Amino acid sequence: MQDVAKRLDKAFQAFYRRVKGGEKPGFPRFKPASQYDSFTYPQGGYKLDGKKLKLSKIGDVRMKLHRPLEGKVKTCTIIQKNGKYYACLSAEVEPKQLPYCADAVGVDLGVRTLAVTSDGEHFKSPAYLRASEKRLKRLQRSVSRKKKGSNRRKKAVHVLARLHEHVANQRKDYNHKVSRGLVNRYGLIAFEDLNVLGMTKNHNLAKSIVDSGWSQLVSFTTYKAESAGRVVKQVDPRNTSQLCSSCGVVVKKLLKDRKHHCLCCGYVADRDENAAFNILKRATA
């Protein structure tokens, strides 16, 4: 009940902040039981006992511990998602900082390639949503054919939700690996400060942008860098693809042009690598 009060307070604080900021207020709405998919033990009422988790008012629950617990456990949140139950234990631990590293890198985010660094490293875009698109369409049609409110429709919705969750987990896993690699190798990591929400209004690129998970990659890299004692900077994205990283002259290009060729100084490079150099220059200026 303490956590329910905290959630309610958080919703109203966000509402007042939006009103004060002149945004669309969005008054907090009542959440029915179907949308309330988690609850939290804020102080006690839970205990780890080998392969079991003891929960107050519920009892012993068998579990799979993903990794050994470190630090002092502060809260336990039970989450129900697509027929599976998860216990999220938040713990207070000392940050493990990595050794000092003076290397810096600029990262250009893209659609064809997820990320290109100023060191010339290319991280491919796996396009997990595109790979599962045919199956998703088939399952969506199956949901549409079922009668609303029927048990068969509920089962079809559950199967569709499981596939969406699988795609999201694939994307999350890949972005975790890329962000961990960047944080381990560089002391300064620079990204563009992109307006991703605005860019998705381009209907030709919206699906590819969402499938790439740019914001997720930046978010994962930022929190990993913070705990490791590294720095992440976001710079103005204006003209990073058009400027020549060698002489600073604007070289106009269309989206289909994948090579940067400066007629002023003769510098030739991959378009994304040139942009990554410009991002790094702005971050270190």
**Angle formed by the axes of helices 214-228 and 151-185, to 10°?**
50
Q: So what's the pLDDT on residue 264?
A: 85
The domain ranges of the chain are: 2-92, 104-284
- Please answer whether residues 230 and 187 qualify as being in contact, where contact means their C-beta atoms are separated by less than 8 angstroms: yes
User: Which runs of consecutive H residues, i.e. helices, occur in the chain?
Assistant: 2-20, 128-131, 133-145, 151-185, 196-199, 206-212, 214-228, 271-284
Q: pTM score, two decimals? A: 0.85
- Supply 44's token pair: 């006690």
Residue 67's pLDDT is what?
86
Q: Are 272 and 99 in contact, with CB atoms under 8 Å apart?
A: no
Q: Which helix (H) or strand (E) holds 233?
A: strand 231-235
- Whether residue 83 is predicted with pLDDT greater than 90 in this model: the reply is no
Angle between helices 151-185 and 133-145 (to 10 degrees): 150
**Given 92, 121, 173, 192, which residue is catalytic?**
192
pLDDT at 85: 94
Active-site annotation holder among 103, 193, 272, 273: 272
What's the 3-state SS for 83-145? CEEEEEEEEECCCCCCCCCCCEEEEEECCCEEEEECCCCEEECCCHHHHCHHHHHHHHHHHHH
How distant, in Å, are the alpha carbons of 96, 112, 179, 218 from that of 227?
A: 6, 31, 13, 15
The predicted model gives 238-259 an average pLDDT of 87
Q: Note the pLDDT of residue 150.
A: 95
Q: Which residues contact 98 (CB under 8 A, 6 or more apart)?
A: 183, 184, 228, 229, 230
pLDDT of residue 17 exceeding 90, the answer is yes
253 band by pLDDT with thresholds 50, 70 and 90: confident
Q: Which residue has the higher pLDDT, 23 or 43?
A: 23
For residues 191 and 200, which has the higher predicted lDDT (pLDDT)?
191
pLDDT in tens, 117-142: 999 999 999 999 999 999 999 999 99
Q: Is 119 a catalytic residue?
A: no
User: In degrees, to the nearest 5, what angle opens at C-alpha 186 toward C-alphas 245 and 216?
Assistant: 85
Q: Which of 92, 103, 108, 133 is catalytic?
A: 108
Q: What percent of the chain has pLDDT over 70?
A: 100
Asked about 272 being catalytic, the answer comes back as: yes
**DSSP 3-state of 60:** strand
